Every structure is written in structure tokens, then in C-alpha cells.
Structure 1
Amino acid sequence: MTIDWRYTAEDGLGILSVAGYLGPDAVHRFAGAVGWALARGTGPVIVDLTELRSWSAEGQLAIIEAARRLTAAGRGLELSAIPADGSLVPAGDCPPVPVHADLAAALAAHGAGREEQPERRQEWRTTGWPAGE
């Protein structure tokens, strides 16, 4: 079992939405999605877990490693809608990882009055991500 992802880049903010199960088989695909976000955006990356069914200990470690990679590149990682079956327990040397109840709360934390500028937004997704979303 693996994940599908969609990355949306706006001026100064990225949203990496993840669907499926973030387990040992999906860690490399998630790391690739984080690399995609690093190469194609600026500012913090909100990892939206609304469509994530669950995650394993390896999946949680992948989140922590992503936070380290993004911090090393001068960017932050934030989480929204973590799975109900567990919470992220970062290692002592992990950069701070803000957690938001849902994507709307995460976006509000970055300016609730942000204007929609679709011409300044770019989006990429895996082939398994539903095209209508």
C-alpha cells in the first residue's frame, strides 16, 4: 500500500496533500514528494493529512525527516488534520512542527484574508490523485 500526493505552490506557501497509508512502503514516495516541494516552492509547507487513512511509526519518522530537510533549506513544515489514531511524537532534535486541526485552520494561520490568485498557483499530483479535487 502506498500514498498519492498533490502539491500546490502559491507565493510563499506550499500545500502537500497526502492520501492513503503512510507506512514503510510509502516512505520513499513521501520523501520524493517533499523533494518536489523543495524544488518548486517557497515558504513553509503545510502537509495536509485530511485524506490520510493512517500512518506507521516509519511514516511518522518520514514526517520528522521532512521537517529536518525543509528546515535545512530555510523552510518550515506544518501539519494539518493528523490521523485520529495517533499523534506525532518528534525526536528531541526535531525542529518545531506546528499542528493545525484542519487545512482551513492552517491556511488561516497564514493570513485568513489571503486573496485567491489562481494565476499565481501551480499544482502537481501523482496519477492516482483524483483530478476533480
Structure 2
Amino acid sequence: MTIEWRYTVEQDLGILSVSGYLGPDAVRRFTGAVGWVVGRGSGPVIVDLTGLRGWSAEGQLTIIEAARRLAVAGRGLELAAIPADGSLVPDRDCPPIPVHADLAGALASHGTRHGEAPEGRHEWRTTGWPSADVSAPRS
């Protein structure tokens, strides 16, 4: 089992939405998504885990690595709606990872709402991401 992802850039904020199960089989795909994120947009990245069914220890470690990678690029990583089956425990060398109860709370902490500025919005996604969930055209 793997993951699907969608990355949306709204003004100076990125939202990486992930669905599926973030386990050993999905680590490479998630790492690729983070590479896509690093190359596009600016500012902090909220990883929206609302659609995630769960994660393994390897999945949690890949999120910690993503936080490090984004920090090197001068960007922060935040989490929204972490799975109930685990908590993220970064080591001392990890940049801070704010955790929000849901995507709305994460966006509110930045003073924005999802879809607030569609003219400044760009989106990329895996082919398996449900098209009915898309509120803006793909770029």
C-alpha cells in the first residue's frame, strides 16, 4: 500500500495533502513529493494528514527527514491532523514541527483559509488523487 499526494501553493504557504498509509512502501513516494515541494513555492509547508489512514515508524521518520530538508531550504514544516495511532517524536537535531488538530486550524494560524486566493493558487497531484476533491484547476 502506498500514498497519493496533492501539493497546493497559496500565496506564501504550501499545503501537501497525503492520503493512504505512510509505511515503508510509501517512504520513497513521500520523499519524492517533498522534493517536488522544495522546488516549488516558498514559506512554510503544512502537511495535511487528514486522508492518512495511518503511519509506521518509517513513515514518521520520513516526515522528520522532510522537516530537515525543508529547513535547509529555509522553509518550515507543520503537521495537520496526525493519525490517532501514533505521535511524532522528533530527535534533538530536528527543527520544530508544529502540530495542528486539523487543516483549518493550521491555516488559521497563518491567517488564511484554504482556497482564499484562487488566482494565486497552483496545484500538483499524483494521478491517483481523487479529482472530485479538487477546488482549483491543475497547473
**CA distances 1:5-41 after superposition (whole Å, capped 9, x unpaired):** 0000111100000000000010010001011111111
Runs of 4+ in 1 over 6 A off after TM superposition: none
Output the CA distance in 2 between the equivalents of 1:118 and 1:38.
21
Matched, 1:87 2:122: no
Q: Which letter maps to 1:89?
A: V
**Structure 1: runs of 5+ lacking an equivalent:** none
Aligned to 2:45: 45
Which AA in structure 2 matches 1:34? V
- Could you give the per-residue CA deviations for residues 64-98 of structure 1, whole angstroms, max 9, x where no partner exists? 00000000000000000000011101111110000
2:104/2:113 contact within 8 Å kept:
no
Give % identity.
Answer: 76
Q: Which runs of 5+ in 2 are unaligned?
A: 134-139
Instruction: Give how far 1:114 is off.
Output: 8.6
Q: 2 CA distance for matches of 1:115 and 1:74?
A: 24
Aligned to 1:121: 121
Rounded Cα–Cα distance in structure 2 between residues aligned with 1:122 and 1:106: 19
Task: State the TM-score, normalizing by the size of structure 2.
Answer: 0.93
Q: Structure 1 residues 25, 107: closer, same or farther in 2, change over 3 A? A: same
SS in 2 for 1:40: coil
CA distance in 1, matches of 2:121, 2:115: 12
In structure 2, distance between residues paired with 1:80 and 1:131: 22
Which whole-Å CA distance do the structure 2 matches of 1:114 and 1:24 have between them?
30
Q: 2: CA distance between counterparts of 1:88 and 1:114? A: 25
| Partner in structure 1 of residue 35 of structure 2 | 35
Please say which of residues 37-46 and 107-116 is displaced more in the overlay: 107-116
2:71 counterpart residue number: 71
Q: Within 2, Cα distance between the matches of 1:19 and 1:117? A: 24
User: Hey, what does 1:6 align to over in structure 2?
Assistant: 6
Tell me the TM-score normalised to structure 1 length: 0.97
